[in-house]
Amino acid sequence: RRFGGTPPAIMQRPELIAALLPTLRADLALVEAYGVDPGDHITCPITAFGGADDLSHSRSLQSWTEFTRGKFRTCVFPGEHFYFLPAAEALAKEIIEDLHSCVGMHTAGARSQV
């Protein structure tokens, strides 16, 4: 309920909640247990996406900058934890733009080595 992504129709069906809760609990346990060595970095760019009204967005999005030596940016959409549901088209455009940028970087690098 806290994240606002479960439709009321599902919340009113205890049997559906009982079926979904083990998966949700396992997912949250995985997030809590996940850790990365502080010295581990990647060199590719990272874009962190989030919702402006998500309860944990600003701190958790910005923390992704610690994992790359490449470019980093955040892209925030209106909404809460499930911002991507109404923003699917805009989110897809941002992802495509990022992918084109990465392909362009690698293509330019390959051309300069020829």
Tokens of 92: 């897809």
Q: Structural domain of residue 80, as residue ranges? A: 37-113
Per-residue confidence in pLDDT tens, the chain, 114 aa: 666 667 778 788 889 888 888 988 898 788 788 777 777 888 889 999 999 988 776 678 888 888 889 999 999 999 888 888 899 999 999 999 999 988 876 665 555 544
- Tokens 């809590």 identify what position? 32
- Same domain? 50 vs 81: yes
- Same domain? 10 vs 29: yes
* Structural contact between residues 84 and 77, judged by C-beta atoms closer than 8 angstroms: yes
pTM above 0.85, yes or no: no
* Structural contact between residues 110 and 84, judged by C-beta atoms closer than 8 angstroms: no
- Same domain? 42 vs 10: no
Tokens of 93: 């455009």
Q: Residue 105 CA to chain centroid, in angstroms?
A: 23
- Same domain? 7 vs 44: no
